């Protein structure tokens, strides 16, 4: 006979030896609309292993799931690097591990890959994914650090050179989507912009420190911003602590000062401003220059290098370095023209649209 809830409570009150334990059911919070809008509430996208079919629907719709990264131009990268079983590879920007996994599969049996990443938050997650995919320590090694220290990273893993080296200079979707990182104004978050949040000054601190003239030059140099002087003056009128505050100041300020400017151009100025600050906060051009100088010495004879860039400042540096290396005899071959993603990829992944791929082959002498 089933005992009612009232009888159970009465017995529990009169008999100290008797207890009733019933698990508490916690309902998922209700969200306006069909899906949660805030990044941290996207429980399906943030747990792709548990909700694989739901996440695949998002990918099939041509969108990038929140907190996930779709590797860009994988086939083109593989065609440039030509990974072969038994070779040694370095992924200088491990990110979500998409490129690394595709390369690792082609290095077997006997090959190995060292994956570098400066982000201490994403590196262990990616390492765990690659371990779960079957790549043990003898095959894959994760290394915390940026690629300016490529020679030291190789030495730390008992290597002098590598047969193939990849650098994807784009910001990963895990960083862009998470408002806590401050890489995008689409979510409310601090104006941080650091690849390694535990080191250096944030974007907000940089804005507070730099003077108006230097800020305008930074916007021109790092992002080719046509309204650099105007935006620098706007951003120095008050402290800017969040991505939303920066977006609002630039959007309203440029619109008011340039009547008739298309909204799309205003949004581009906001994006370029964030880009310029991010490059400065992470010293990205200096780090890239260090990598480009060390590459010929880190490649084995006949070794291949491929670099994905996402704005003109990066691409100019890579193009010039490969051309100079070719003239000096370091490289036996180099890309005659930049390689762009196929239209089918840019339709499926809008974040691929700005990508440019260049490659070079180390001489055998």
Q: pLDDT tens track of the chain, all 365 residues?
A: 444 545 545 554 555 554 444 445 556 555 555 666 665 555 565 566 666 676 566 656 656 665 566 899 999 999 999 999 999 999 999 999 999 999 999 999 999 999 999 999 899 999 999 999 999 999 999 999 999 999 999 999 999 999 999 999 988 777 777 888 887 888 889 999 999 998 999 999 999 999 999 999 999 999 999 999 999 999 999 999 999 999 999 999 999 999 999 999 999 999 999 999 999 999 999 999 999 999 999 999 999 999 999 988 999 999 999 999 999 999 999 999 999 999 999 988 888 999 999 999 999 87
Q: Which CATH number fits domain 74-173+284-362: 3.40.50.150, 3.40.50.720, 3.40.1280.10, 3.40.50.2300?
A: 3.40.50.150
What is the phi/psi pair of residue 207, to 5°?
A: -60, -40
How far apart are alpha carbons 249 and 261 in whole angstroms? 16
What is the phi/psi pair of residue 205, to 5°?
A: -65, -40
Residue ranges matching CATH 3.40.50.150 in the chain:
74-173+284-362
In the prediction, which pLDDT does 180 show?
A: 82
DSSP string, 122-168: THHHHHHHHHHTT--TTTEEEEES-GGGHHHHHHHTT-S-EEEEEEE
Decide: helix, strand or coil at residue 48: coil
Nearest alpha-carbon partner for 323 in 356, 294, 360, 348: 360
How far apart are alpha carbons 207 and 202 in whole angstroms? 9
In the prediction, which pLDDT does 52 show?
A: 63
Largest CA distance in the chain: 93
Burial class (CB in 10 A: 0-12, 13-18, 19+), 152: exposed
> Under a CB-based contact definition with an 8 Å cutoff, are residues 194 and 282 in contact?
yes
272 prior amide bond cis, ω within 30: no
Strand ranges of the sheet holding 140-144, from the earlier edge strand across to the other edge: 140-144, 112-117, 88-91, 162-168, 299-309, 356-362, 331-334
DSSP string, 171-219: PPHHHHH-GGG-S-SSS--BS---SSTTSS--HHHHHHHS-HHHHHHHH
What is the phi/psi pair of residue 305, to 5°?
A: -130, 140
Q: Please state the pTM of the whole predicted model.
A: 0.81
Question: Which pair of tokens denotes residue 302?
Answer: 């006949």
In the prediction, which pLDDT does 1 show?
A: 40
């Amino acid at each position: 006979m089933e005992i009612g809830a009232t009888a159970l409570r009465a017995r529990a009150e009169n008999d100290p030896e008797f207890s009733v334990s019933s698990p508490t059911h916690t309902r998922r919070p209700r969200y306006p609309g069909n899906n949660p809008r805030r990044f941290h509430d996207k429980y399906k996208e943030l747990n792709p292993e548990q909700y694989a079919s739901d996440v695949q629907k998002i990918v099939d719709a041509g969108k990038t799931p929140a907190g996930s990264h779709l590797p860009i131009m994988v086939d083109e990268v593989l065609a440039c690097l030509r990974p072969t079983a038994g070779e040694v590879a370095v992924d200088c920007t491990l990110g979500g591990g998409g490129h690394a996994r595709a390369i690792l599969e082609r290095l077997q049996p006997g090959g190995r890959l060292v994956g570098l990443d400066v982000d201490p938050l994403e590196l262990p997650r990616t390492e765990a994914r690659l371990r779960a995919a079957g790549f043990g320590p003898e095959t894959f090694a994760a290394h915390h650090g940026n690629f300016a220290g490529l020679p030291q990273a190789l030495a730390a893993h008992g290597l002098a050179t590598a047969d193939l080296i990849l650098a994807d200079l784009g910001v990963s979707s895990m960083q862009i989507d998470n408002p806590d990182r401050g890489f995008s104004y689409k979510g409310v978050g601090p104006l941080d912009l650091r690849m390694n949040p535990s080191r250096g000054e944030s974007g907000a601190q940089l804005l507070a420190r730099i003077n108006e003239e230097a800020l305008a030059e930074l916007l021109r140099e790092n992002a080719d911003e046509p309204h650099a002087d105007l935006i620098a003056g706007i951003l120095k009128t008050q402290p800017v602590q969040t991505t939303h505050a920066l977006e609002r100041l630039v959007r309203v300020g440029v619109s008011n000062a340039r009547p008739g400017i298309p909204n799309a151009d205003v949004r581009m100025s906001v994006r370029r401003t964030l880009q310029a600050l991010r490059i400065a906060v992470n010293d990205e051009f200096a780090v890239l220059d260090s990598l480009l100088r060390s590459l010929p010495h880190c490649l084995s004879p006949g070794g291949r290098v491929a670099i994905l860039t996402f704005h003109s400042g990066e691409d100019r540096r890579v193009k010039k370095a490969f051309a100079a290396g070719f003239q000096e005899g370091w490289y036996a071959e180099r890309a005659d023209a930049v390689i762009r993603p196929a239209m089918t990829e840019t339709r499926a992944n809008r974040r691929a649209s700005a990508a440019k791929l260049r490659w070079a082959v180390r001489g055998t002498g």
